[in-house]
Amino acid sequence: MMKLYWSPRSRSFTALWLMEETGQPYERVLTDISTGAQKQPGFLAINPMGKVPALKDGDATIAEASAICAYVAERYPEAKLAPPLGDPRRGKYLQWLFFTSGCIEPAILQAYLKFDIPTSSAAWGSTTQTFDVLDQALAKGPWLLGDDFTAADIAIGAGINFAIRMFKMIPARPNFDRYLDACAARPAFQRAMVLAAG
C-alpha cells in the first residue's frame, strides 16, 4: 500500500486529492511541518528536500507534487487520470501537469510578493502571461483536456484554489471560478479538503 507523507494546511492537498481520485487504499503518514517533522532524519530519507508531500510505494520514493501525480496516474491506469502512452493528448497532459511547478507557482509568488523580473529572465515569462495562457485553455473546458479530467487538473486546480480561494494571492477570473467550482464539486476534492484540514 502506498504511504503518503503529508501535513495539514499545506501543498499536501494536491496529493491527498489525487489519492482520493484513484479510489485505491493508501496510508496517510502525518508529517506535521508546524513541528519540524519534515526535518527529521526519517523523513529526510524519503525526501531530502524536507518538504511534503512525499510518497513511498514499496522501494520507490517520490517527491514533488507533479511527479507524484504522474507516478500515481501511471500506477493506477484504471483511474483514468492520464491519457495512455500513444494517445496524442498525452503531450498536452504532461505540459499542463508540469505547468504547475514551472509557471503557476512562480507566477503566484511573483504576484504575491510584487517583485519585478524581466520576462526574458523568468522561466515562466510573466504573471500576466502565465494566467492569460491558463485562462485561454480553461475557456474551452470543462477541463484542461476538454471533457476528460486528469491528474493535470488536480495539480493546477489545487494550485489555483490555494492562490485564489484560500489565500487571495491572485485575482479570480470567470474561467478560473467556473473551473474551481467544477473541481470543488468532485467528491474526491471534498474528501481531500476534510483530510487536509487536519
- The predicted-structure confidence for 69-118, as pLDDT tens digits, reads as follows 999 999 999 999 999 999 999 999 999 999 999 999 999 999 888 888 88
> How confident is the model at residue 44, as a pLDDT?
97
| Other Cβ atoms closer than 10 A to 65 | 28
- Fold: same for 2-80 and 90-190: no
Domain boundaries, the chain: 2-80, 90-190
**Mean pLDDT, the chain, integer:** 95
Buried b (16+ CB within 10 A) or exposed e, 175-191: bbeebbebbeebebbee
* Res. 63: pLDDT tops 80: yes
> How confident is the model at residue 3, as a pLDDT?
98
Number of H helices, E strands in the chain: 9, 4
Least confident of 68-82, 117-131, 154-168: 117-131
> How confident is the model at residue 18, as a pLDDT?
98
Q: Where are the beta strands (DSSP E) in the chain?
A: 2-6, 26-30, 54-57, 60-63
CATH of domain 90-190: 1.20.1050.10
pLDDT above 70 covers a percentage of the chain that reads: 99
> How confident is the model at residue 9, as a pLDDT?
82
* Higher pLDDT pick, 94 / 198: 94
> How confident is the model at residue 99, as a pLDDT?
97
pLDDT interval class at 121 (50, 70, 90): confident
Chain centroid to Cα 114, Å, comes to 23
Model pTM? 0.95
CATH of domain 2-80: 3.40.30.10
Q: Is the dihedral of CA 150, 151, 157, 160 positive or negative?
A: negative
